[in-house]
Homo-oligomer: A and B are copies of this chain.
Amino acid sequence: MSSHPIKIAGPAIRAVDPWLPGNPVRGERHQLLSDEERAQLAKISSIVRFKKGEMIYELNAPAEASFNIISGVVTAFRPLSRKREHITAFLYPGDLFGLSEQGCYVNSTRATTAVTAYRIPLQAMRRLLSRNADLDVDIIIKLCDELRQAQRHAFLLAQKRAVSKVAMLLDLHEHLQRANGLPASDVYLPMDRSAIAGYLGLSLPAVSRAFRTLTARKIISFRDRRHAQILDRKAFEHLADAPE
């Protein structure tokens, strides 16, 4: 232990606390697990790496493990008939994924950037869970977090105007960056346009046009394809918050 100054503490689960109002900072996601818990999890986990674009697991495959992201971005999606896919979520460091229903994964996942993650076998996880009440509570908190995310996603999808959807996506990512303590002077979008389209329930051209509209109206501007700045906060929030 002490022979290694840089210690890998084990899985990290980060979420906004559902109970405490502002802990430690309003809206900030914080590390839920104690060092003790992380060590326990580390004992049953392995570290895996995925190259950009690599599949992590496929829909309906037998679920053998959950994953906890250390670095990189993962896209969770449901393949549709042809070249289309419905994107369920973008997952970031501190997130947990690999949900199953009756032993099978309920979506497919792919590394959107290079990814390193803890791989936590389900068997071991279950065993650990039934022995450790504190760990359970942390997982519950995280699941509540993901549930709220999914509900926000649904809310976004219920919007009709493409510009609103796009604005809400930017808003989500800005919040996310802030919640992770990163500077949010510009919004970084690690995924490509077609992934955005899949997440927003729009066609790829529609995404492009929506971005164009927003830049034309001087509401946002693009430093490059993946870095956006919000220029007109007022107009932006009007679109992203309560769209008509």
A contact residues vs B (CB 8 Å cutoff) = 16-23, 26-27, 63, 78, 80-81, 84, 86, 88-89, 99-104, 106-107, 122, 126, 129-134, 136-137, 139-140, 143-144, 146-148, 150-151, 153-155, 157-160, 201, 242, 244
A134 contacts which of B130, B147, B158 (Cβ < 8 Å)? B130
Smallest distance from the beta carbon of A88 to chain B beta carbons, Å? 5
Hey, which chain B residues are within 8 Å of A126, CB to CB? 19, 137
Contacts A80-B242, A150-B150; is A158 near B86 (CB within 8 Å)? yes
Q: Are B242 and A151 in contact (CB under 8 A)?
A: no
18 inter-chain pairs at a CB distance below 8 angstroms, sorted by A residue, are A17-B102, A18-B101, A18-B103, A19-B126, A20-B102, A26-B102, A27-B102, A81-B244, A86-B155, A126-B137, A129-B133, A132-B133, A136-B137, A136-B140, A143-B144, A147-B150, A150-B154, A153-B154
